[in-house]
């Protein structure tokens, strides 16, 4: 299949099952994707680990494997100690050692931890920290971050297709969306409509994307995403344990979420 008109690709993000891959597998995935993806497409690789040192090592390896930038998720195992000061220190050390630009990644649905706004504002001033992917879905927060960082060379990305239009409306410059693995062309069309100021058409498309997006993120997660990919002619493949495939009942519900909005 042809590539959708995206600006690039993220590998080893949440939907890449990176916590279940070995270090060697993570690096190999990036290497293989770089071989397949045209050079004019940005390749961003998830390099976050729990420790600062491991994140630095993974970041350097991802750059060597061909990543143009790295996406660094918040360390979260000791989330009670992940204060703004600790996170600023962590990301600063990673950025200082990274041979490629760093994008912050806040995904509280998986980590139980929001990257604090004051930490984001402080980190936005670092010359090698270029942006944030925020997957929390709090548009007030996204707008506040855009407002407080807009005098820096810093860009904010919506972390889900479910609030892509809302993100553009408050100043986000793009999105990293799980749903784009299935409806990539449609997600890109939503971006085009927003940037063209065609808000009525954008709203209608956004409405139709909300339920399928929720189905492959919050409701069914990666097993749902992979199942839907199969329906649309892509290779979803099996999940890595302990993730389980969908039950027959779940498959039927997932199918309804796509058919009810006219995608299947």
The annotation places the binding site at 176
Question: Alpha-carbon distance 57 to 226, whole Å?
Answer: 30
The position carrying tokens 């408050």 is 170
Q: Is 77 a residue of the active site?
A: no
Catalytic hit among 39, 91, 93, 105: 105
SS3 93: helix
State the Cα–Cα distance between residues 167 and 131, nearest whole angstrom.
Answer: 14
Cα 20 → chain centroid: 17
226 counts as catalytic: no
Q: Which of 18, 77, 91, 133 is catalytic?
A: 133
- Binding site for pyruvate, residues? 176
Q: Which two tokens stand for residue 123?
A: 């980190």
Distances in Å between the Cα of 137 and the Cα atoms of 1, 76, 120, 159, 262 are 31, 19, 16, 8, 24
Phi, psi of 150 (to 5 degrees): -70, -10
Cβ of 179: how many Cβ atoms within 10 Å?
A: 26
Catalytic residue positions?
105, 133
């Amino acid at each position: 299949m042809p590539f959708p008109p995206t600006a690039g690709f993220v590998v080893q993000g949440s939907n890449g099952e990176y916590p279940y891959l070995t270090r060697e597998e993570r690096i190999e995935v990036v290497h293989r994707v770089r071989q397949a993806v045209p050079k004019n497409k940005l390749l961003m690789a998830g390099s976050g680990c729990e420790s600062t040192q491991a994140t630095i090592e993974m970041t350097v390896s991802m750059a060597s494997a061909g990543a143009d930038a790295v996406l660094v998720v918040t360390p979260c195992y000791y989330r009670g100690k992940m204060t703004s000061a600790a996170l600023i220190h962590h990301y600063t050390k990673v950025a200082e050692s990274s041979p490629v630009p760093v994008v912050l990644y806040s995904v509280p649905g998986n980590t139980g931890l929001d990257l604090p706004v004051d930490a984001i504002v402080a980190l936005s001033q670092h010359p090698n920290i270029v942006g944030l992917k925020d997957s929390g879905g709090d548009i007030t927060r996204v707008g506040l971050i855009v407002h407080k960082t807009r005098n820096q060379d810093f860009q904010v990305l919506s972390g889900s297709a479910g609030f892509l239009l809302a993100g553009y409306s408050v100043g986000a410059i793009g999105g990293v969306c799980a749903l784009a693995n299935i409806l990539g062309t449609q997600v890109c069309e939503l971006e085009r409509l927003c940037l063209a100021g065609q808000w009525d058409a954008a709203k209608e498309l956004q409405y139709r994307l909300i339920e399928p997006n929720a189905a492959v993120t919050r409701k069914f997660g990666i097993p749902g995403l992979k199942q839907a990919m199969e329906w649309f002619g892509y290779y979803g493949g099996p999940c890595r344990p302990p993730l389980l495939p969908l039950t027959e009942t779940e498959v039927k519900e997932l199918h309804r979420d796509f058919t009810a909005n006219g995608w299947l």
